[in-house]
Amino acid sequence: MPELPEVETVVRDLKPLLAQKKIGSVKILGKKLRRPWNPLWTKSLEKQTLNKIHRRGKWIILSMKSGVQLLIHLGMTGQLCVFDQQEALKSHTNLVFKLSPGNAELRFRDVRRFGSADVFDTEKELQDFFAKRKLGPEPFNLSQEYWLSSLAKSSRNLKAFLLDQQNIVGVGNIYADESLHKSRLHPSRLACSLKPYEAILLSNSIEEILNAAIKNRGSTIRNYVGGAGLMGGYQDEFKAYGRTGLPCMNCGNSIQKIVLAGRSSHFCPNCQPKKPSKR
């Protein structure tokens, strides 16, 4: 599933391509996404001028000057890219937004159809949508007080804690593994067992890993491409995720895999001991 770096890359790619564009028409194609498209949304979007493209966690937000909000979630295999109208539609294209002026189209394609598209008439309705999901803070410049308190109150393992979007948004399976490896913390450690210096090290590692991934346009594992149709490159930098049986780049021991929170977790048993280190 695309995580924060991939979503941020899509947003950054789309900004110059969608600046001051109008949505001329909306076409609904193929099979339904996670939620069906409401015909009233088409009327809400047509002839609207795009004002801002931004992100909240793993969601992409296209804000119109009128206040109407188009919310996109890429799901597992979603792609949101701009194409010339003359370019043939790829299979599994679900939504096509005609842009004007010019001959471009914004197309949403999702092979597995776990992605979603929603329209809100006002920004308040969008904020209410996020509020119901009790999303945690963005992982950049985290409040130390919040972070230490949240970890101390949780009896869940670190992998489960990081995947919970109510604790911190945007971090998924890939970057949880990479962040825990960088901070030398075992994924099965209880969140409440972390000492303050370990907690701070973890928050710093998350931020560094995410920034490095954004710089490399995210990670292309299967279907992911950015808003300009280009693949990511951070998959070549992985130190833990997907490297089961391969030598740890820090110590040479084999990377192992266990299942936590229903997800595969990759770690080095030497660099990431189960017991707290005595620093």
10-residue mean pLDDT series, the chain (279 residues)? 94 96 93 89 96 97 98 94 95 95 95 93 97 97 97 98 98 97 98 97 98 94 81 94 97 97 96 79
Amino acid at 215: K
Answer positive or negative: Cα dihedral of 236, 239, 243, 249. positive
Please give the Cα distance from 180 to 54 (Å, whole number).
Answer: 28
The phi-psi region of residue 237 (left if phi > 0; otherwise alpha if psi is between -120 and 50; otherwise beta) is: alpha
What is the layout of strands, in order, in the sheet containing 104-110?
A: 78-84, 104-110, 93-100, 22-28, 48-56, 59-64, 69-73, 116-120
Burial of 33 (0-12, 13-18, 19+ CB in 10 A): buried
Helix (H, G, I), strand (E, B) or coil at 46: coil
| Residue 278 pLDDT | 61
Distance between CA atoms of residues 127 and 56, nearest Å: 10
Residues 217, 232 contacting (CB under 8 angstroms): yes
In contact, 248 and 255? CB cutoff 8 Å:
yes
Cα–Cα distance measured from residue 184 to residue 111, given in angstroms and rounded to the nearest whole number: 36
Highest CATH level, class, for 144-267: mainly alpha
Q: Is 36 a catalytic residue?
A: no
Helix intervals (H) in 143-195: 144-152, 158-163, 173-182
The catalytic residue among 12, 46, 263, 269 is 263
Q: Catalytic residue among 3, 6, 105, 178, which? A: 3
207 is catalytic: no
Q: Check residue 279 and give its pLDDT.
A: 53
What is the third-level CATH fold of 4-132? Answer: N-terminal domain of MutM-like DNA repair proteins (3.20.190)
Marked catalytic residue, from 21, 55, 58, 239? 58
Q: What is the pTM of this model?
A: 0.94
3-state helix, strand, coil in the chain (%, to 5): 30, 25, 45
Any idea where the domains of the chain sit in the sequence?
Answer: 4-132, 144-267
Q: How many residues does the chain have?
A: 279
> Could you give the angle at the alpha carbon of 168 between the alpha carbons of 166 and 169, nearest 5°?
90
Q: Is 132 a catalytic residue?
A: no
At 195, which amino acid appears? K
Give dist(CA 246, CA 242) in Å, integer. 9
Q: Assess whether 34 carries a catalytic annotation.
A: no
- Could you give the 3-state DSSP secondary structure of residue 254? strand
- What gap in Å lies between CA 160 and CA 149, rounded to an integer? 16
Which residue do the tokens 């992982």 mark?
139
